[in-house]
Structure formats: structure tokens, C-alpha cells
Amino acid sequence: MSALYAGLDVGTTGAKALLVDERGTLLASATEEYPTHTPRPLWSEQDPEDWWTAAVRAFGRLFHECGRKPEEVKGVGLTGQMHGLVLLDRRGGVLRPCIMWNDQRTAPQCEELTSKLGFDRLLELTGNPALPGFTAPKILWVRQNEPHVFERTAHILLPKDYIRYRLTGEFATEVSDAAGTLLLDVRRRSWSPEMLRTLEIRGEWLPGMHESPDVSARVSTHAARETGFIGGTPVVGGGGDQAAGAVGSGVVREGVVSVTVGTSGVVFAHSDAYRIEPRGRLHAFCHAVPGAWHLMGVTLAAGGSLRWYRDTLGESDSARAKERGMDPYEVLTEGAGKVPPGSEGLLFLPYLSGERTPYPDPNARGAFVGLTIRHTRAHMTRAVLEGVAFSLRDCLELMKNLKLDIREVRVSGGGARSTVWRQIMADVFNVELVTVTSTEGAPFGAALLAAVGAGHFKTVYEACDAMVKRVAVMPPQRKSVPVYEQLYQSYRELYPSLKGVFSRLTQTALM
């Protein structure tokens, strides 16, 4: 009888649990949703109790679905949304709803933090500029706006680490998730005394630090009764969702990069050394691989651009899809596949939600540039696919500037299902595009880390080699690469030329 390993992802919309065997075969998965609350514009909060309730239900469904026994589970891995602020009192009670990663209330606190330390010093220590999504500015906000809550604070946790507390009774975290707090000395992989002094945070408020595959605690007797696990089952450090997802895709060596095309697009690169982008245009975090780091760039509207196009300009394509019993995206990309590379001189800027990398500009806007009477809807569709690929390449170029040799890109997410879009990305990146056996992302990576912590594998590298296999390879097309290289250079000129216009348009919209 093979050993089993469980992974749990405390996601933005729900908790997803899964069970895999020691070969990496998915045996069961279950997802339980929970709500997000927006008590004010730009605020985003969740109740940690909802996470625990969803986790218990999801765990409970696993054994029922696959018919296996809880005592077969030899390790549990946790992952989840990063940057969220969970505050507990001395008894472990939640003091207020979690302020989430996509909450935007803390711009003044980011400016204050940057002013106190200086941009360069902040970047040197934490690998990142102060951004509203990160945890440290949220702590400042609570101190300044909810002093009655701050005065009662005894513990500061991240979302997945709250589940660890409920599962084991221990306060612990690991380096990849902690790197997104702005409280970690990312180079040294430990809490930064300088950051704690600057924010006047007591060290005892923060959880103990672990590497991602290390056993951090064990399932308590009380939690065992609620979840069905056996008391004493090891719970490893786990990882932030992006780092755990990269482990689940086998992105654990330099030269291998992952591109995830969901609503947003995330470019993730393993790094054996601590590297920071001098202007802070890439996130620099600890990886879930001990002794390694990762760089990350984000395109805010990747799949989101295609969805906007479908809903706004693709109604007739959606109608045809319904008649043919097809997904609307299949019909859209089918038409785009008949248009030559470069869309006959039509470019699209995918900045529909502002942008993050390489232009951290909330005023950036989307645009079609180069429209002529010859262009059809199919041309516009292909231009959207190409524009997103160009934006993702911007992230890759920043990584190359830091002396990372990119030999292979592993692609996942909804956008990866399109053969046309995959080929466009391979041609724009001029590198092999690979899909792998695992499609479960972060919770699969968490389960894999649990297999390491339980001793089934010696290292994360060994676990990935055994559990993650390449399924398909899409090489770049020689005839398309030079077309896209020329078009990409034109694409790069657009944002600098239009930046002032975008700013003025935003001011006009607010009048």
C-alpha cells in the first residue's frame, strides 16, 4: 500500500485540497468556496474562520472520494494566497478580518515606509518595493486606523499559516510566503531586525521560520477529530502559492521558467543566487526550494484581456460557438490561427487593469494601434493574443538582464489550453514551450513538499524529477521568430510614447 500526501491551497475564492500517491498520481481533490467582503471601495477582506471551515470540509471529502484511509497520509503541505494580514490575540482569537493581497487601501503607508528606509535600502533588504498588496503596510494601517485592534495583537500570521495554527496549534511559517511580507531579510532568509525596528513590531509576534519542505508541526488531536487526519501527522512548511505552484510544475532549476496565463499572467524564474532587479520591477522572493530564490513578473490582464475582448467585441463568435457546441474561446482562437503572425501590423497593449511589470502604473491603459480598413475581428483577436505574449516577454527580458539563461518555459493556466496561443508565446519568446503532467498547481506542489518532509524523497529536486513529467514540447517556428522580434521592438516603444496620454485620460475620467 503506497503512502499518500495531502496538499491544501487557501486560495482567493476557495480552499482546494488534494491527495496524491508517492508517484504523484492525483487520487482525489475537493474545493470549498468562501466569500470575499468589500466593506469600502478598494478594500478586500475575508474571515479566517471561513478558511478553516472550508478546509475541514475539503479534507473530509478527500477520503470519501478515493476510498483510502487517513492513516495512509504521511504528510500534509500547505499553500495559499500571499501577503494577507491575519491578527490574533493572546488566546489565538482572530481580531479582525484578514486584509487580503488585492486590498488597495495602504498607498499612504507604502509612501511612509519608503520614506523611512529609502527605496534602495528597502529593495536591498526585502527584494521588493513597498506595494499596497504586501503585508507590512497593512500592519501600519491597522496601527494608525484601528489602534484598539493593534493594542491587542499578539500574533501576526499569513493565510495558510492560520490554517497551520488551527491544524497543529503551532505558530509557524516558511521563507517563500514570508518573503512577501516586507518583513523578511530575503537574502538571509530570516526576519529582518531592521524592518521590525522601523515598523515597531515585536519579534515575538511573528511565527517561527522554516524552509518549505521542513516539518513545522504535527496535526493536533483536536484537529484530527475535525479533519479526519491522524494525530501526529507531519505538516511541512509549504509555500506561497506561486512558489508552491512552481514546485508543482518542476520549476526548481535555473534556466526553467514558468508562465501561468490566468486572469493575470505570472512569469516565475528559479534563481540559485539572490538577485534583485535594480528598479524593483521584478519581485524577488525566497523559493520553496531550500537555499534558492525566485524572480517574478506580473501582467495584470493576460487571460483577462481575452475575456474582455470576448465579452465586448466577440459576441458573434460566442453565438457561433453556441451553435457549434464549442467553447467561445475555441472559436476566437480558431479564427486568430488563420491570421498571419504579426496580425498584419496591428498591435494591442494589454494594460486594461493598469500594469505591474515592467511598468508599475495604475494609469496605464489598453489600446489597439495600427488599425486599418483591412483588419478584421480575427486580426484583432490575434493581436490580443500577441500583445499579452509581448507583455509576458517584457518580464522575461528583465530576467535575462539579470544573467538568467532561459532555456525552457513551462506554461499552465487557462490560456495554455489554446494551441494557437501556445505557439504565439513560443514564437514571441523564441524558446521551447513545455506542458507537464501536473495541472493542479499550488496544492500539488504543497503535497510534493510534504513527500520530501516525510522522507519519501531526499530533496525537492528529486521529488520533482519523480513526480513531474514533460507532456508536450512546442518549439518556436523559425519563420515567425523574426516577424515577432521586429514587432516586439515596436511594441516596446508604445508605452513610453503614450504614458503621458494615459495619465491625462485618467484625470479626464475622474472629472
Catalytic residues, by residue number, are 241
Q: Where are the beta strands (DSSP E) in 192-339?
A: 208-210, 215-218, 234-236, 239-240, 256-261, 265-271, 283-286, 293-299
Encode burial over 300-322: b for 16+ CB neighbours within 10 A, e otherwise: bbbbbbbbbbbeeebeebbebbe
Cβ pair 15, 443 in contact under 8 A: no
Give a three-class secondary structure readout of 272-293.
CCCCCCCCCCCEEEECCCCCCE
Measured distance CA(96)–CA(494) in Å, rounded: 44
Q: Which of 64, 93, 32, 72 is nearest to 443 (CA)?
A: 32
Measured distance CA(255)–CA(348) in Å, rounded: 29
Give a three-class secondary structure readout of 367-384.
EEECCCCCCCHHHHHHHH
Q: Is the C-alpha dihedral spanning 285, 287, 292, 298 positive or negative?
A: negative
* Cell numbers 500577441: residue: 386
